[in-house]
Structure 1
């Protein structure tokens, strides 16, 4: 959504940032869902690839008519390959769980994943053991990776007596917002 579109609808300038902030917040949910779908697709593709490779291995073993030593060597090779696939699959699952855990707070979950020290992290169901400590350390060292909880909006001006303005000074202000604010502050001049 663009500012020009909202202006074209006749929305006041002061409401446009609020609308854009709300629009951005509402899209975050869809962004998180899209990230989750992508991660699940990666897991599914890895699992399907592993399954088809194992099927091929079984068929090769069934059709093989070589001697026992060759079969044993081939079986050992397949076991080693299966171990690699299982390691890759567990790594993909761990990375997906990390991405899902940081998706709401991170500006880009992939950047957080790339810079996160994964040593000592362990997948336990849907949670990652040790992730909170690692994320706390990463937030302190690289805060730009995460969204700030800073409130948006206008900061009120310092207190004190406003400068004295005359009615003609106020009417000569070119900016409509400033003029309206000056009129509100000096209503006694317009009564």
Structure 2
């Protein structure tokens, strides 16, 4: 939500109030808007279903033309039923993959350095779609955060301008104060 914070800051809202506004915004938005991943999922479903309907209409038309040959018609019907069953299974697999991809990307949004890389680490076979929820996603995310923490953005230290460490002319503590005339002696904590 950095974009919202930037907009509010540019609009002249005090920084002390921005976090509260963003929190309220995050609570209210899901009540009034459909998330982008859900919209994309529904859009893909619609396109797929429209294509399937067109294909099935053509198949029925072809069957009507062949109605004269009873034995050929039975074979054609069986073949089309088999093809439709295969197409349905393929569609369901694609829909499951799309749903899992959207759920994973949504769970990772803003938390990792490279969403595609981390998304590939999830074991999709262990994820189960239960209505609008993906069971097992939170557990795998938690495990990845613990075992591969370097892939995730740090929540600590964000917003801090300076960190302790080596600074030219500094004392290594991030205080910005100059060291002694001999940096080696200062690093060892010795006095001249």
Structure 1 alignment gaps of length 5 or more: 1-21, 30-35, 165-191
Structure 2 alignment gaps of length 5 or more: 1-17, 27-34, 67-71, 165-172, 181-192
Change (3 A) 1:80 1:163: closer
The number of equivalent residue pairs is 131
Q: Secondary structure at the match of 1:128?
A: strand
Preserved CA contact (<8 Å) 1:121 1:128: yes
Matched residue, 1:44: 43
Preserved CA contact (<8 Å) 1:97 1:126: no
1:150 equivalent in alignment to 2:149: no
Preserved CA contact (<8 Å) 2:163 2:174: no
Matched residue, 2:73: 67
User: What is the TM-score when the length of structure 2 is the normalising length?
Assistant: 0.55
Matched residue, 1:17: none
- Tell me how large the CA RMSD over aligned residues is: 3.4
User: What is the TM-score when the length of structure 1 is the normalising length?
Assistant: 0.55
1:136 equivalent in alignment to 2:142: yes
Aligned-pair distance for 1:150? 2.5
Q: Counterparts in 2 of 1:69-84, with a 5 A limit?
A: 69-84=75-90
Computing the radius of gyration over CA atoms, which structure comes out larger, 1 or 2?
1
Cα displacement string for residues 35-93 of structure 1 (whole angstroms, at most 9, x for unaligned residues): x6367436523541343123312331233214112211121111111111111112101
Change (3 A) 1:109 1:84: same
Which of 94, 105, 119 is matched with 2:100 structurally? 94
